[in-house]
Amino acid sequence: MSTAKLQPLPAILIANDLLTGDTVFFTGDGWTRHPGEALLAGDEAASIRLEAAGQEAMQLNRVVDAYLVDVVLSEGGIPVPRHFRERFRLLGPTIRPDLGKQAEFPGLAAQAGRTR
């Protein structure tokens, strides 16, 4: 993911925490486990900054597999990925609503307007 060309916007930066493996989101000055706190890049300059932050965090061995994901902001204020894979990642296994972020953060699934 070295190029920001044609990166659809808005986008957030998603990764896994190296030590725990948790799915995490970049906030602008750190990483959060709550997708509602993710920094939204609305233009190309912002997405380039996000991508650079991902590269730096990987080099510092803080996270692995950092990349940009294009999203739609839900009515509940959650950046919801357009792709179903990243939507599942955001909330947790669809077959186990009792597990993952959907269980950990009450109301998240509703705020994200889970449709499937």
Partner 1 sequence: MYRYDEFDAAFVRDRVAQFSAQVQRRLAGALTEDEFKPLRLQNGVYLQLHAYMLRIAIPYGTLSARQLRQLALIGERFDRSYGHFTTRQNLQFNWIQLKDVPEILALLADVEMHAIQTSGNCIRNVTADQFAGVAADEIEDPRPVAELIRQWSTAHPEFSFLPRKFKIAVTGAAEDRAAVSVHDIGLRIVRHPETGETGYAVLVGGGLGRTPMVGKWVRDFLPKPHLLAYLEALMRVYNAEGRRDNKYKARVKILVHEIGIEAFRDRVEAEFAQLDPLRIQADAAEVGRIERYFAPPAYAELQDNPPALRRARAANPEFDRWVAQNGFPHKVPGYQAVTLSLKGIGEAPGDITSAGMRLVAELADRHSFGEIRVTHAQNLVLPNVRQDELFDLWHALAAGGLATANAGLITDIIACPGLDYCALATARSIPIAQALATRFAAPDRQQEIGPLAIKISGCINACGHHHVGHIGILGLEKRGEESYQITLGGDAGNASAIGEILGPGLGADEVPDAIERLLAVYLDHRQPGELFVDSVRRLGIQPFKAAFNAELRHDAA
Give me the least distance between CB of 83 and partner 1, in Å please. Answer: 7
Nearer to partner 1, 20 or 43 (CB): 20
- Contact by Cβ (8 Å): 16, 64: yes
Structure letter (DSSP) for residue 111: H
Q: Cα dihedral sign for 42, 45, 31, 19?
A: positive
Nearer to partner 1, 40 or 58 (CB): 58
Alpha-helical (H) ranges within 60-100 are 84-91
Nearer to partner 1, 6 or 60 (CB): 60
91-to-25, 43, 67, 81 alpha-carbon distances in Å: 13, 25, 18, 11
Give me the least distance between CB of 37 and partner 1, in Å please. Answer: 18
Q: How far apart are CA 27 and CA 96, in angstroms?
A: 27
Nearer to partner 1, 23 or 47 (CB): 23
Give me the least distance between CB of 44 and partner 1, in Å please. Answer: 23
Give me the least distance between CB of 104 and partner 1, in Å please. Answer: 11
Residue ranges that bind partner 1, judged by CB under 8 A: 16, 18-23, 58, 60-61, 64-65, 82-85, 88-89, 92-96, 99-101
